[in-house]
Structure 1
Amino acid sequence: MSIFSRHDATARTHIASTIIALFSAIAMLFSVTACGQSNDSVTSTASGSSDLTKVTFMLSWAPDTNHIGVYVAKNKGYFKEAGLDVDIVAVAQAGAEQAVNNGVADFALSNLTNVSTYAVKGATIKQVLQVQQKPSAIWCSLASNTEIKSPKDFDGKTFATFGSNESDAVIRRMIQSDGGKGEFDKVTVGTSTFQTLSSNKADFGGFYATWEGVQADMYGPKLNCFTEPDYGVPGNADTIGVITSDKTISNNPELVKKFVQATKKGYEYAYSNPDDAAKILVKEAPDANLKLDFVKKSMKTIVDGQYWGDPAKIKDGSFTFGTNDVEGAQQYFDFLAQEDAYTDSHDKVVHDAPQAKDLATDEFLK
């Protein structure tokens, strides 16, 4: 899951494009007729003893531990208990956010930054459950590149990018916070940021500690990494969670509540039982060819780093799992607006930051 523009979910590249194509083909063959019909379509269970409401959940990239709670909820029967038959489908070419906005998918994995970017372009979508509670982005060079010792050394080097204004703003701020000018060249990533760096086409790029960071530790190449909060980037950029459309919330709030409650239960199970959840993800997403040891270590990184919240606070009830961090998100939105990273549907710069409180709701967590 090489870091991309957080508002370009289809550019996530921890898996080759051939796998994405495979999942897309599967989705087209088996799921397309179900898309966008959850509000009024009903399908029978295998036993025929009861009816379940058909729901489509869209991945935002290939299956990974960010999606794991949805796979657990499906495997454990939490969705069925809520009266739902959930299809997990591949990300659409236009992106999960656009698919949800257009009614092609009922729910998807995204994050508040993506929601804000689409909102300024006219989309009406909302985050209804936030899984990740703190940033996991890491900006790295190969450990073998001894010229780079801190972000100021990115000055004058080449950034392996997916072309977003957002990632440019983050890198510029990190360099300047470390005493550099914030000037760098760019090259567009092909299939893998690792490959782009290893082939000497770029000097540094973005990854995620909970996925590629694990990959680098287990399989190499070793990385030298820096995190955003340590170098002047405010707030929480990685507010990963579940989104739906304002229309679905308005027309069928009970459906949203059922989906959110079952999904929340799936993520809570995964957080408390990471090894078992890893086995479920590997089993339920066979075409992703995930290695069990790798997924287990990714989950261990998430749990040990308390990326989904403080387990003690979740247990004693002082923190509700899934709560949207609108304060952290707003700090990041304000930063992006200051850096002119937001553009409207006509590509004109939007100077006013979107309001996170208007783009997220915790009402379905209760």
Structure 2
Amino acid sequence: MFIRRIHHIRHSISPQRTHGAVRRLLALLSAIAMTATVAACGQANTTNATGTDGTTKVTFMLSWAPDTNHIGVYVAKNKGYFKQAGLDVDIVAVAQAGAEQAVNNGQADFALSNLTNVGVYAVKGAKIKQVMQVQQKPSAIWCALASNTSITRPKDLDGKTFATFGSSESDAVVRRMIQTDGGKGEFDKVTVGTSTFQTLSSGKADFGGFYATWEGVQASMYGPKLNCFTEPDYGVPGNADTIGIITNDKTISTNPTLVRKFVQAAKKGYEYAYSHPNDAASILVKEAPDANLKPAFVKRSMKTIVDGNYWGDPAKIKDGSFTFGTNDVKGAQEYFDFLAKEDAYTDSHGTVVHNAPKARDLATDEFLK
């Protein structure tokens, strides 16, 4: 079982305590819970209430603690884009069983997720779909402490200890990177307690997984210094981090107007954040006070996103040759096929599924224009 981009603990977390390890732990728990419930629960019959001001009440669920992946939704709310669309959006903490299951069951109208997660849940019986993709290229990084001079390239990870939560996906990715660099792809593993950073610093593990736009920024600003490798440079195909907004199939079929309004307003929020990163960072800090985010940290995260063109090429967005929010089904499918070959998919009964989910059936761009 695995979930890309793992859910954060729901209480307040400062950037110094944020780490991919916690995301992986909660995702693993979510996947376990889902195995027993998603197929049975199905999609709830929900009707969106209308407020006294005539707006339609909508619930958007975080996929972990507030961060720059969610920033466009916070901007859209702060700037009044949702209200202009006739929506009263409530941004809520991630459910215990995960945002994907909450959307599948109708407990939330929309949530942040990614096509990799949607594929995992679809194999287990969920009926959810991604309706806008924000991130257009992978941000996962696999790192050792810079002070560990025995690791200078993925091949050096052979025989070392991986700080993990037992994710089949992570194992497949690390193995492929090592083998592409000329190694055997053999490594030991240790289960992370709370912090991958702490696990590496204590010497209990030699390397672990992080994300360039968040933990990578954290390490750069606050330490510890890292030596990192990226997936595409070492043989992992496709786009693993297709982060975007999801809803369930029933909402799409019964209330497409609601989906279009939400997507259009959220898209406007993300586009504003991409063009005005510092202002958007200030909005996130203001709108999510319980997250205890430091303004300088959030601004640096947004700078990393903008400088790295993580949300798309600004020039192509400006000239209209690329529509912001387009789903990368080709890149997602390449990654899905890779995971299927590694036997990383299981159904709701825990049985290995050898056929990869079809990305084209799990995403739609119809609400972007």
**For 1:32-79, what per-residue CA distance to the aligned partner results, in whole angstroms no more than 9, with x for missing partners?**
xxxx887331122xxxxx211110000000000000000000000000
| Segment drifting more, 326-335 vs 181-190 | 181-190
Conserved 8 A contact 2:9-2:65? no
Measured in 2, the distance between the counterparts of 1:139 and 1:87 equals 35
Conserved 8 A contact 1:10-1:93? no
1:69 aligns with 2:77: no
- Corresponding residue of 2:135: 132
- Corresponding residue of 1:243: 246
- Corresponding residue of 2:49: 41
- Corresponding residue of 1:326: 329
TM-score by length of 1: 0.90
- Corresponding residue of 2:35: none
Of 14, 18, 24, the residue aligned with 1:14 is: 18
1:55 aligns with 2:53: no
Point out 4+ residue stretches in structure 1 off by more than 2 angstroms: 7-13, 36-40
Measured in 2, the distance between the counterparts of 1:271 and 1:213 equals 19
Number of aligned pairs? 341
Query: Which amino acid is 2:50 matched to?
Result: V
1:270 aligns with 2:278: no
Measured in 2, the distance between the counterparts of 1:7 and 1:269 equals 24
How far is the alpha carbon of 1:229 from its aligned partner?
0.4
1:225 aligns with 2:228: yes
Measured in 1, the distance between the counterparts of 2:144 and 2:211 equals 13
Conserved 8 A contact 1:322-1:365? yes
What CA RMSD, in Å, does the superposition of the two structures yield over aligned residues? 1.8
Query: Which amino acid is 2:64 matched to?
Result: W
Partner SS state of residue 290, structure 1: coil
- Corresponding residue of 1:288: 291
Measured in 2, the distance between the counterparts of 1:185 and 1:98 equals 32
Partner SS state of residue 213, structure 1: helix
Query: Which amino acid is 2:4 matched to?
Result: R
Identity, % of aligned positions: 82
Partner SS state of residue 148, structure 1: coil
- Corresponding residue of 1:47: none
Measured in 1, the distance between the counterparts of 2:339 and 2:45 equals 36
How far is the alpha carbon of 1:156 from its aligned partner?
1.2
- The 1:326/1:11 distance shift into structure 2, 3 A limit, reads farther
Conserved 8 A contact 2:8-2:65? no
How far is the alpha carbon of 1:315 from its aligned partner?
0.6
Structure 2: gaps spanning 5 or more residues: 11-16, 27-43
Of 183, 205, 208, the residue aligned with 1:205 is: 208
**For 1:160-208, what per-residue CA distance to the aligned partner results, in whole angstroms no more than 9, with x for missing partners?**
1122111110011011111111111112222221111111111100011
Measured in 1, the distance between the counterparts of 2:240 and 2:107 equals 26
- The 1:278/1:10 distance shift into structure 2, 3 A limit, reads closer
- Corresponding residue of 2:365: 362
Measured in 1, the distance between the counterparts of 2:48 and 2:294 equals 38
Partner SS state of residue 9, structure 1: coil
**For 1:99-145, what per-residue CA distance to the aligned partner results, in whole angstroms no more than 9, with x for missing partners?**
10011111000000000000000000000000000001000000001
Structure 1: gaps spanning 5 or more residues: 22-35, 45-49
For 1:43-192, list aligned pairs within 5 A: 43-44=51-52, 50-192=53-195
Conserved 8 A contact 1:37-1:55? no
Query: Which amino acid is 1:14 matched to?
Result: T
- The 1:266/1:316 distance shift into structure 2, 3 A limit, reads same
Conserved 8 A contact 1:162-1:189? yes
Conserved 8 A contact 1:8-1:95? no
Query: Which amino acid is 1:170 matched to?
Result: V
How far is the alpha carbon of 1:10 from its aligned partner?
4.9
